[in-house]
Amino acid sequence: MTKKLIENDLTLAVAQFNPVVGDIEGNLNLALRAHEQASVEGADLLLFTELFISGYPPEDLVLKPSFIETCENALAKLAMATTTGSGIIVGVPICRKGRIYNAAVLLDAGKIVAECLKFDLPNYSEFDEKRVFSAGPRPKPVEFRGVRIGLPICEDIWNDDEVAARLAEKGAEIILVPNGSPYDREKPELRYEVVKKQVLKSSLPIVYANEVGGQDELVFDGGSFALNANGAPAFQMKHFQSELAFSHWQKQNGKWSCVSGPQEKLLHETAADYQACVLGFGDYVNKNRFKSVVLGLSGGIDSALCAAIATDALGPERVHAIMLPYNYTSSQSIKDAEECAKLLGCRYDTVPIAKPVEGFEQALKPLFQGTAADTTEENLQSRARGTILMAISNKFGAMVVTTGNKSEMSVGYATLYGDMNGGFNPIKDIYKMQVYGLSNWRNNHFPANGLGPKAAVIPQNIIDKAPTAELRENQKDEDSLPPYPVLDDILRCLVDEEMSISEIVKRGHPRDLVQKVEHLLYVSEYKRRQSAPGVKISHKNFGRDRRYPITNRFRDKN
């Protein structure tokens, strides 16, 4: 059936949802419910995000013909829903003439009206789309009920400043961009600048629809928005939250402009980072169907912050904290851990590790005869703790939470098969000084949709005391490492900015210290390769963003 043409009024619904990669039926049902609601509320067009049907990023799943077939079958069912109500723009992988494309498909009147294929396939940082997709042609306007729409997909607007201008030259009246844009600290402001540049060059309004939710290490923060043709803000959707939002547009003097829509606020800096950790962690646990989590609560700040994130993401009833004391565990640490668990409201148990550690030492005594105690014995403590946590996981089905921060992971201040045990790490991309910042923020704020207590949850003594692994008498982290403000600055230079030794020395750091940190960074690569995944917060995390060889003799001589 033919739908009535749109003249001067357009109601656009944007579905900023949280699809699950591979759950094609679930994503389809989510889309069908959104279409029903959008139609009831009078929307002319419903815009979904990039590859919504498959979930994003589907990675090598799109190389399976049965996966693509299932996605296209779902697309056909969604098209049938448009015999009445709103039209739909949805992202989906499709196969045409033996090639697989990342597509945005326009559906209306029960059929596929147009297919726009992504032409700029990102192949950097967390993206690897050239591996699995073919590039399509540059987009041309498509017609929806008399309105000519430009449909570039995500990266299509990032590297070519003229994309929107060319669409305008070909008759586009408004540009709608489906996105799967992952979060990092600078990304929200960067998106705005990218879109504004395209708007000012084309004199067309642009709607930027972004996915929300966690997918493995990536977090999509939503924050969908639109700019009017003069570059002024048109609407702003919620940050880190799913929603179906409606905006109303009018055409005057041949130009579309937004006359009403949501006016939400974006989160920034520490608040955004904390929300990203909660969302990424919660989605990893829930989408992988773990019923609960267990973690070692040591009385230190890293495990306390991880417990807070877990509780905010899952609720206290799904978090099990275990104190695993040994001879060097101070009474203050035991007190701090117990108080933290009490503030969080989660289950708390104590499992002493003296007997398991002594058992290992006794078994190894003949082999170790005549040697001095060193980090070997310290690591036995960590490995005993890891084994106990994994046993609890096996017995009760709870995922073990890993609690090492980015500073420790950078320099190898962690024990393989010990404190590195676990399924996911919410602070893997958080440097030590940021751990303090996030902890202080959480004690004074409550995250949106958080399930934990609306009060301070990390005892002040945990924040104030000197960090220590408590693996030997009177141990402090600074016995082995530079002060964390110094270490973190050097690591940011080496990891995030790829700076040379000389450039870092110019910042005031001793050359021998910088070289030592660089060496520790390189020789710890084998540990990081075996570490649990964790939420990506920065533009250069360990894993997707930084792929250094394990076998590596390079050292910077500059």
Task: Please check if 299 is assigned to a binding site.
Answer: yes
Question: Which amino acid, 449?
Answer: N
The separation between the first and the last C-alpha atoms of the chain, rounded to the nearest angstrom, is: 70
Nearest to 558 by CA among 506, 522, 508, 517: 506
**Cβ atoms 463, 524 nearer than 8 A:** no
305 class by beta-carbon count within 10 Å (0-12 exposed, 13-18 middle, 19+ buried): buried
Where are any strands of DSSP class E within 222-283?
Answer: 225-227, 233-236, 243-252, 255-260
CA 180 remoteness from chain centre: 11
Active site residue 340: no
- Torsion angle, CA of 330/331/337/341, rounded to 10 degrees? 170
CA distance linking residue 552 with residue 524, whole number of Å: 11
Task: Please check if 125 is assigned to a binding site.
Answer: no
- How far CA 345 is from CA of 275, 342, 445, 452, 461, in Å, comes to 20, 5, 17, 8, 18
Q: Show the tokens assigned to 189.
A: 């402001």
**Cβ atoms 15, 48 nearer than 8 A:** yes
Task: Please check if 292 is assigned to a binding site.
Answer: no
- What is the edge-to-edge ordering of all strands in the sheet holding 347-350? 347-350, 319-323, 293-296, 399-400
Dihedral pair phi/psi, residue 170, rounded to 5°: -90, 10
Active site residue 111: no
Task: Please check if 274 is assigned to a binding site.
Answer: no
Active site residue 118: yes
**Cβ atoms 133, 154 nearer than 8 A:** no
Active-site residue identified among 154, 306, 340, 346: 154
Task: Please check if 302 is assigned to a binding site.
Answer: yes
* Omega of the bond leading into 57 within 30 degrees of 0 (cis): yes
3 state SS for 359-384: HHHHHHHHHHCCCCCCHHHHHHHHHH
Task: Please check if 303 is assigned to a binding site.
Answer: yes
Task: Please check if 545 is assigned to a binding site.
Answer: no
Dihedral pair phi/psi, residue 210, rounded to 5°: -120, 140
3 state SS for 337-361: HHHHHHHHCCEEEECCCHHHHHHHH
* CB count in 10 Å sphere of residue 519: 12
Task: Please check if 408 is assigned to a binding site.
Answer: yes
Active-site residue identified among 118, 287, 406, 432: 118
Task: Please check if 300 is assigned to a binding site.
Answer: yes
Question: Which amino acid, 539?
Answer: H
Task: Please check if 187 is assigned to a binding site.
Answer: yes
Tracing tokens 């201008």 back to the chain, one arrives at 165
Going by the annotation, the residues of the binding site for L-glutamine are 124, 181, 187
Going by the annotation, the residues of the binding site are 124, 181, 187, 296-303, 379, 403, 408, 527
Going by the annotation, the residues of the binding site for deamido-NAD(+) are 379, 408, 527
Going by the annotation, the residues of the binding site for ATP are 296-303, 403
Residues that are catalytic: 50, 118, 154
